[in-house]
Amino acid sequence: MKYLQYLAAVLAVAPSVLAAPKPERDGNPYLGVQPYANKGYAAKLEETIKYFNKEKDYLNAARTRSVQKIPTFGWVSNSAAVPDIKGLIDEALAAQKRTRQKQLVQIVVYNLPDRDCSAKASDGEFHLSDDGLNKYKGFIDGYYQFFFHGHATISDPFVTLGVAAQLSTKDAKKLQFSLILEPDSLGNLVTNLNVEKCANAADAYREGTSYAIAKLQQDNIALYLDAAHGGWLGWNDNLAPSAKVFAEVLEGAKAINPSAKVRGLAINVSNYNQYIAPVREDYTEWSNSWDEWHYVNSLTPHLEEAGYPAHFIVDQGRSGKAGIRTEWGQWCNIKNAGFGTRPTADQKVLNNTNVDAIVWVKPGGESDGTSDETAVRFDAMCRSPVAHVPAPEAGDWFNDYVVNLVKNAEPALRPSLF
């Protein structure tokens, strides 16, 4: 069997998982815990393993098994996904009991009304024209019924708790949580108010995000607002306005809940910028934030001046390869991308005390957007010269793409038989 050709190498290494260091805690939620590798993502990767085995590429099949063990975020991007939080909690509790390590469950909350206002690929379920802001508030802290209308109570059948209620259960309190709120939202308030949809959604973005912060306050929950990436908000003229927006949204949360707080910001979510780029790309020439490490350093003093916590987590899930784009604005299913630096909270890797951790936020293999020009959510960037075509709708599994992420991973993935 081909497996025997590398069996010795496989057995010589442990599976690639984040082992958080245990120095004294400083409020960093990634220290002294084990981020949970969710089973939902691992199950999707079975298709990739099956593909590699069919191709007799047993090494990359084993590398994909290692990816199954790497902690990634679960996404709650519509009302139907809210019950999945309980599944994540149940799975993480089982892992915590089995390993005797405190588990950190990582979740993205992504459902603002008229979301993704400057693009089309990820338009969501709530719209301002249909009472979207109030529906979003119910999604955060209310409960709703799928099969009947009228007054409901939590004990009624077919009732689903909102995000805040799911995270307030007895079982949830036994875990730690890291939540990212609303990717691709507040950044639009800094740079894209010339887009009519963004201008119309600006107040709802602010109010909705403040409301989510206020309602998701638990001692075991660390909140990070999305701060786009260095190629978007890292330009000198955007830094102070960005910090001001984040601080204002936090103040809006405190007006609802005076004890409201956040841990910091999440950057490079679903993007391809490297944390520390090996070379400077030509299109970054005029920016001091030419990789995400430099973006942290550029934004930090402005956050401190605005009174917003300058702590960051950095998505490197698909940032393994340099030289795969010709401009920062290319964001959809970039060809030749690879899995990036593994999640870690080790300062020997981070080399920046404002960074809490490198994480994998975007599940590698879920499409950024469809390349079908006839689709309602088609965005031209998904047929750009550097986009992988054909591609399915945003969020759908894109196995051809994850095959390349495995092959192009940097550093290369270690193989695992189990």
C-alpha neighbours within 13 Å on the C-beta side of residue 321 = 15
Q: Is the dihedral of CA 199, 201, 202, 203 positive or negative?
A: positive
Q: 75-78 contacts: CB < 8 A, separation 24 or more? A: 75/107, 75/108, 75/110, 75/363, 75/395, 76/107, 76/108, 76/109, 76/110, 76/111, 76/163, 77/108, 77/110, 77/111, 77/124, 77/395, 78/111, 78/124, 78/125
* CA pair distance 65, 417, nearest whole angstrom: 7
Residues 6+ apart with CB under 8 A from 80: none
Residue of 114, 184, 315, 379 marked catalytic? 184
Q: What is the pLDDT of residue 88?
A: 98
Query: HSE-up of 114 (CA within 13 Å, CB side)?
Result: 25
Phi, psi dihedral angles at 60 (to 5 degrees): -75, -25
Question: Bridge-partner residues for 355, per DSSP?
Answer: 312
Q: How many CA atoms lie within 13 A of 374 on its CB side?
A: 0
pTM, whole model, 2 decimals?
Answer: 0.91
pLDDT one digit per residue (tens) for the chain, 418 residues? 444 444 443 433 333 344 433 433 469 999 999 999 999 999 999 999 999 999 999 999 999 999 999 999 999 999 999 999 999 999 999 999 999 999 999 999 999 999 989 887 778 999 999 999 999 999 999 865 443 344 444 444 445 689 999 999 999 999 999 999 999 999 999 999 999 999 999 999 999 999 999 999 999 999 999 999 999 999 999 999 999 999 999 999 999 999 999 999 999 999 999 999 999 999 999 999 999 999 999 999 999 999 999 999 999 999 999 999 999 999 999 999 999 999 999 999 999 999 999 999 999 999 999 999 999 999 999 999 999 999 999 999 999 999 999 999 999 999 998 8
Retrieve residue 361's tokens. Answer: 């936020």
Query: Residue 340 CB: number of other CB atoms within 10 A?
Result: 27
Question: What element of type H or E holds 74?
Answer: strand 74-76
User: Do residues 43 and 65 touch, judged by C-beta distance below 8 A?
Assistant: no
Model pLDDT, residue 152: 46
> What pLDDT is recorded for position 159?
54
φ, ψ dihedrals at 108, nearest 5°: -105, 130
- Report the distance separating Cα 387 and Cα 398, nearest Å: 13
* Residues 180 and 224: beta-carbon distance below 8 Å: yes
Reduced to 3 states (helix: H, G, I; strand: E, B; else coil), residue 20 is coil
Rounded CA gap, 415 and 418, in Å?
Answer: 9
**CA 236, 237, 239: angle at the middle one, nearest 5?**
65
Instruction: Tell me how far apart the alpha carbons of residues 197 and 26 are, in angstroms, rounded to a whole number.
Output: 40
How many other C-beta atoms lie within 10 A of the C-beta of residue 311? 23
Burial readout 24-52 (b: 16 or more C-beta within 10 A, e: otherwise): eeeebbbbbbbbbbbbebbebbeebbebb
Q: Are 254 and 311 in contact (CB under 8 A)?
A: no
CB 339 within 8 A of CB 389: no
Calculate the dihedral angle through the C-alpha atoms of 406, 319, 81, 143, rounding to the nearest 10 degrees.
160
> Does residue 346 carry a catalytic annotation?
no
Question: What is d(CA 314, CA 377) in angstroms, rounded to the nearest whole number?
Answer: 27
Q: How far is Cα 239 from Cα 249, in angstroms, rounded to an integer?
A: 16
d(CA 333, CA 370): 9
pLDDT at residue 149 in the model: 42
Judge whether 116 counts as a catalytic residue: yes
Q: How far apart are CA 264 and CA 267, in angstroms?
A: 10
Q: Which one is catalytic: 90, 114, 116, 123?
A: 116
Q: Are 179 and 222 in contact (CB under 8 A)?
A: yes
Nearest to 313, CA basis, from 206, 219, 410, 227: 227
Residues contacting 285, CB < 8 A, separation 6+: none
